[in-house]
Amino acid sequence: MMNLCLKRIDYMKSIKILLICFVTVATLSSASIGYCDSGFLDGFRGIQWNTAKKDLPDLDLSKKTLKNIYKKGSSAIFLTGERTNLDMHFDEVPLLSIFLRFNDSFFYGYDLVFKPQYMKKVQASVEKSMGAAGKKIDGELHWNKDGVAVILTDRELMVEKK
């Protein structure tokens, strides 16, 4: 009888350990899903460079906002937490707004606007992603890699596919 109790205690400890591991992995995974991946070379949060307006994922945009993406010429849509289902963070930095830029209805760039106090955090993330420090030009930091240009000011990160 004592052996059976000890086996049951060991079994319950194993279950608890597995449950703790599962919860830890699930928590870490879900925490990272909403934040903007710092990789710039593939586009923005699942929107590949050169994606057509009609092929955009569901961003919970109003018809009025979608009309601001023009068939011909340059256009941009302005997003805030109230206007989209996109998470308003870049890594851990809270964003004030996001601009998605289009040319002839095709996605080619984005701008992330944040408070100046977060500039160093954004810079560190960009440097990690781009693999180098930016070149200082007229008070801005610039990176170019594989046809993607990144510019960082004290309150804005601008990324575009050339």
Radius of gyration of the chain (CA): 22
* Of 28 and 144, more confident: 144
11 belongs to a structural domain:
no
Q: Is residue 141 part of a domain?
A: yes
123 close to 152: Cβ distance less than 8 angstroms: yes
Q: Which is nearest to 109 in space by CA: 57, 152, 49?
A: 49
* Chain segment 85-130, per-residue pLDDT in tens: 889 999 999 999 999 999 999 999 999 999 999 999 999 999 999 9
What φ, ψ does residue 123 adopt, rounded to 5°?
Answer: -60, -45
Residue 15 lies in a domain: no
pTM of the entire predicted model: 0.74
143 is in which domain, residue-wise? Answer: 51-161
**Is 7 contained in some domain?**
no
pLDDT band of residue 22 (cuts 50, 70, 90) is very low
**Count of the separate structural domains present in the chain:** 1
Does residue 9 lie within any of the structural domains? no
- Per-residue pLDDT of 39-53, as tens digits, reads 788 899 889 999 999
The predicted pLDDT at position 102 comes to: 97
Query: Within a domain: residue 5?
Result: no
